Amino acid sequence: MTAAYVSPASRVKAQGDFRTLRRLPVTSYPTLLLHSAYGVDQMGGAVSTAASLAAALDQRLTTTIQATTRDLTSQGEPS
């Protein structure tokens, strides 16, 4: 385990991970992120309840499904 801390490759990997995290919409820790075709969306944090997370997920899924259907319809695909 100690070797992972002193390994140059591990250090480079960790630095890359931190750069990636800085680009995400994270405003608190822990954070639940939803990755979709439209990007990354923060859904919850440390004080989120199961009910609020379920409601947020339902809302994102409904929005994503509506947008996908709209995109397919505009491309001539049957809905």
CA atoms of 55 and 61, how far apart (whole Å): 10
CA atoms of 47 and 59, how far apart (whole Å): 19
pLDDT given for residue 12 in this prediction: 92
pLDDT along the chain (79 residues), means of 10: 78 88 78 80 84 89 65 58
pTM: 0.48
pLDDT given for residue 71 in this prediction: 61
pLDDT given for residue 25 in this prediction: 73
CA atoms of 52 and 17, how far apart (whole Å): 28
Which residues are bridge partners to 39 per DSSP?
Answer: 36
For 60, the 3-state DSSP assignment is: helix
pLDDT given for residue 1 in this prediction: 62
